Amino acid sequence: MKFGGTSVANLERMRVAASYVKEEVDRGNEVIVIVSAMAGETNKLVETVNSVSPYFDAREYDAVVSSGENVTAGILALILQDMRIPARSWQGWQVPITTTSSHSSAQIMDIATDNLNAKFQEGLKVAVVAGFQGISQENRTTTLGRGGSDLTAVAFAAKFDCERCDIFTDVDGIYTADPRIVFKARKLNRIAYDEMLELASLGAKVLQTRSVQMAMAHQVPVYVRSSFSRKPGTLVCNEDEKMENRTISGIAHSRDEAKISIISVADRPGVAATIFGALSDKGINVDMIVQNISESGRTDITFSCPIEHAPIAKKSLLDAKKDNLANFKDIVLDLEVCKVSVVGIGMRSQSGVAAKMFAILANEGINIKVISTSEIKISVLVDRKYMELAVQALHDKFELHANRITPK
Ligand code: ADP
Ligand code: ASP
Ligand code: MG
């Protein structure tokens, strides 16, 4: 059972969380509970680190930002003990959860089971584990990337062969679009791992992308539900026939994107490799890429990346030019864009989705700046000021509020 930030936001919410845990214990289950920091706490810690130095030591950043989870783990264990439930807390290093050393985006390498299992054997009913953190081979605390408690939860479920992984959050499941933007968004009873993976990686932060990858790889059934209501949630699982009947399952958006155009680069073998090599050396997460038709041996290349990567991207391109690795005329940054995507496994067998999507956006007077597609998604970059309008129009015209969805 994993409780996100809003589900452990204060003592009152933690008592509610504890009551959900108690229900499972009363059913005779042993429970591993993964907790996030209290809502807003991790952001505050990040701000504090940034205020000390924007060029921080990543190891100390992790030491600080992982601390919010330690507090909630201890307090929830105390609340459970107060309810006469045998419970204790574990921090990442105590389990231990061993990870790679890539601070702030570490990967889980292993989770030891001995310590927890020994305590369960002695009669422990609930192990409360601080999410989002682990320990590197250098014996330093690491964090798993924002939203990383989801990953901790799925990884524990896989490692301990748990019956289920329940993710308690502030919405009662996965919707056809972010319910905070689309009022008419509909809750899905089930969603395929593939679709959830696309939705998450395209901006639907209800589950961290890597947690969905892990769930898919280890076949962990993930049940997303609310700690604020008793309504049934959404099961993330393998696809079934019913799911294939719907062309589109959801709309995702990602607000803070940047579009970078490199003007007039030589159109010959090796140029793109040099440019994107320079970007990847700096760890820039390049997303969509388009290259224009070449005129007189020169062309323009446009790509998108998260907005916070844009300044470093520009600098690394200018450095590459200075070192005579890449020759281009100019770089143009557009920091006012966002990405809107439609996702659905039914797209594999249905044509016409792209045409319909572009027509809907055109009808709203929204200009498309960059397009990218995969087997089960179409993404476009549009001006940020149109984000809500684009998401709502697509949701409406693809009739996602209704139960059966077929493109006209
Ligand atoms: P937690 O703190 O519990 O981990 P998050 O804030 O990370 O919660 O994720 C829950 C949020 O995800 C919701 O409040 C909702 O605004 C957002 N969200 C985005 N897309 C979707 C979607 N398709 N379905 C449900 N929630 C979504
Ligand atoms: N507290 C961490 C964050 O805010 C991890 C999480 O909540 O999943 O990113
Ligand atoms: Mg989250």
Provide the residue range defining the domain that includes 316: 240-408
What CATH number is associated with residue 87? 3.40.1160.10
**Mean pLDDT of the 191-213 span:** 96
Instruction: Please check whether residues 32 and 139 belong to one and the same domain.
Output: yes
User: Residue 406 has what pLDDT?
Assistant: 41
User: Residue 403 — very low, low, confident or very high, per pLDDT cuts 50/70/90?
Assistant: low
- pLDDT tens for 356-368 read 999 999 999 999 9
Degrees to nearest 5, angle at CA 244 with 240 and 250: 105
Q: Tell me, in angstroms, the distance from the centre of ligand 3 to residue 208's CA.
A: 6
Look at residue 121 and tell me if it is in a domain.
Answer: yes
Say if residue 12's pLDDT is above 60: yes
- Least confident among 40-54, 67-81, 130-144, 283-297: 283-297
Can you give the pTM of this predicted structure?
0.92
- pLDDT tens for 203-250 read 999 999 999 999 999 999 999 999 999 999 999 999 887 765 778 999
Hey, how many other C-beta atoms are within 10 angstroms of the C-beta on 268? 11
Q: Tell me, in angstroms, the distance from the centre of ligand 2 to residue 212's CA.
A: 16
Instruction: Please check whether residues 106 and 13 belong to one and the same domain.
Output: yes
Output the residue whose Cα is nearest ligand 2's atom 6. 147
Output the residue whose Cα is nearest ligand 1's atom 11. 206
Say if residue 258's pLDDT is above 50: yes
Q: Tell me, in angstroms, the distance from the centre of ligand 1 to residue 240's CA.
A: 24
What CATH number is associated with residue 339? 3.30.2130.10
Phi, psi (rounded to 5 degrees) for 329: -85, -45
User: Residue 244 has what pLDDT?
Assistant: 59
Q: Which of 43, 72, 169 to mutate to test the pocket of ligand 1 (most atoms within 8 A of CB)?
A: 169
CA distance 350 to 2: 37
Pair of tokens at residue 226? 């609310």
Say if residue 305's pLDDT is above 70: yes
Q: Which of 6, 13, 35, 42 to mutate to test the pocket of ligand 2 (most atoms within 8 A of CB)?
A: 42
User: Residue 212 has what pLDDT?
Assistant: 98
Q: Using an 8 Å Cβ cutoff, are 265 and 229 in contact?
A: no
Of 152, 170, 188, the one marking the end of a domain is: 170
Instruction: Please check whether residues 140 and 10 belong to one and the same domain.
Output: yes
Instruction: Please check whether residues 122 and 245 belong to one and the same domain.
Output: no
Instruction: Please check whether residues 397 and 248 belong to one and the same domain.
Output: yes
Look at residue 204 and tell me if it is in a domain.
Answer: no
Of 170, 186, 217, the one marking the end of a domain is: 170
Instruction: Please check whether residues 155 and 297 belong to one and the same domain.
Output: no
Pairing of strands 289-291, 377-383: unpaired
Say if residue 402's pLDDT is above 90: no
Look at residue 196 and tell me if it is in a domain.
Answer: no
Instruction: Classify residue 37 by its DSSP letter.
Output: P
Looking at the CA of 5, name the nearest ligand.
1
Look at residue 189 and tell me if it is in a domain.
Answer: no
Closest C-alpha among 255, 254, 250, 253 to residue 174: 250
Looking at the CA of 152, name the nearest ligand.
2
Report, in angstroms and rounded to the nearest whole number, the Rg of the chain calculated over CA atoms: 23
Ligand 2 site: residues with CB under 6 angstroms? 4-5, 36-37, 42, 68, 131-132, 146-150
Of 128, 143, 170, the one marking the end of a domain is: 170
Number of domains forming the structure of the chain: 2
